[in-house]
Structure 1
């Protein structure tokens, strides 16, 4: 591994926000392009860092990707229940893909969840089109939890997020 996983620093928030926004846009994960309201949330790393733990993969002073780890009961949780931690907003820069960055970020979240007292499970949401991510999660032992699939925008019928969970 030629990169390290660590907590993001404030001077990296802008870079990580752009990596995250562009990853979602480039991969077609936002339906409305630059005008999508969620794009602002993806770029607002400072807001996430104030409510959860934001991790980055970095090498030679460059941010390669990042993820938000929400411990049990954190305010950034979308689907986590008591005793569960949640992984959110995983993104890897295009030039860093295929190097194990995404897996290392997810593994760091799982390791952190194991250190949270009373945390028995890690959960996450993903879009149907994120097949590469699905394979990663399944390879790491996550299992689909279809009973927890949900729609973050009820006014749009065609956006259902798939959910996965990993029992610790």
Structure 2
């Protein structure tokens, strides 16, 4: 997608990114469990302190989606081990879905890992995020059951990984 580019999020965009992320997760039915995850999704400024927040923007610099990237051993890394890069909170505006934005963001994370000579990219995804799973698998990620976990009882997260 030539009209979509990925860059580091700017502080002035944090509120919009937080709302976009909550909107995307809500539209997908991923906040129905009401465990307070929406507050974490909205707190872009908080996660930007210890992780990298990337945005996908169009030619007019309108934010279309976002992803948070964390290196192993940092506060936002939940499953990454030494030598791994983790991404979280991948979200695409419901208005931009179907345009390849999620793919562009995922590829940017993989490219970042390669630039840093990090050997593996990992992520956790809600068990029912089947569209995301198809994207990850199409890009070369495989299920990594050893990374499966539950942040809350009854909320299973599946691990995925890709050697880079």
- The TM-score bracket by the shorter chain reads over 0.9
Give the match for residue 41 of structure 1: 40
What CA distance in whole angstroms lies between the structure 1 residues aligned with 2:98 and 2:29? 19
- Residues 70, 77 of structure 1: 8 Å contact kept: yes
Aligned counterpart, 2:88:
88
Separation in structure 2 between the aligned mates of residue 31 and residue 96 of structure 1, nearest angstrom: 22
Q: Which runs of 4+ in 1 moved over 3 A?
A: none
Matches within 5 A, 1:14-29: 14-29=15-30
CA contact (8 A) 1:73 1:84 kept: no
Partner of 2:163: 167
Q: Which has the higher strand share?
A: 2
Q: Distance in 1 between matches of 2:22 and 2:95?
A: 15
Per the normalisation by structure 1, the TM-score is: 0.92
**2:31 matched residue in structure 1:** 30
In structure 2, what is the Cα distance between the partners aligned to 1:31 and 1:78? Answer: 22
CA offset at residue 9 of structure 1?
A: 0.3
| CA–CA separation in structure 2 for the residues paired with 1:130 and 1:165 | 16
- Whole-Å Cα distance in 2 between the matches of residues 74 and 116 of structure 1? 16
Q: Deviations over 1:32-67 (max 9, x none)?
A: 45xx42111100000111111100011113110000
Counterpart in the other structure of 2:11: 10
Task: Give 3-state SS (helix, strand or coil) of 1:113's partner.
Answer: helix
Deviation at 1:147, TM superposition (A): 2.2
Superposed counterparts of 1:116-135, under 5 Å? 116-117=116-117, 119-135=118-134
User: Which residue of structure 1 aligns with residue 146 of structure 2?
Assistant: 147
User: What's the offset of the Cα at 1:71?
Assistant: 2.3
Q: In 1, are the aligned partners of 2:24 and 2:93 still within 8 Å (CA)?
A: yes
- Matches of 2:68 and 2:134 in 1, distance apart? 20
With normalisation by structure 2, the TM-score equals 0.94
Question: Does the 8 Å contact 1:57/1:66 carry over to 2?
Answer: yes
Deviation at 1:125, TM superposition (A): 0.4
Q: Check whether the contact 1:72–1:116 (CA below 8 A) recurs between aligned residues.
A: no
CA distance in 2, matches of 1:127, 1:146: 13
Describe the SS at the equivalent of 1:97.
coil
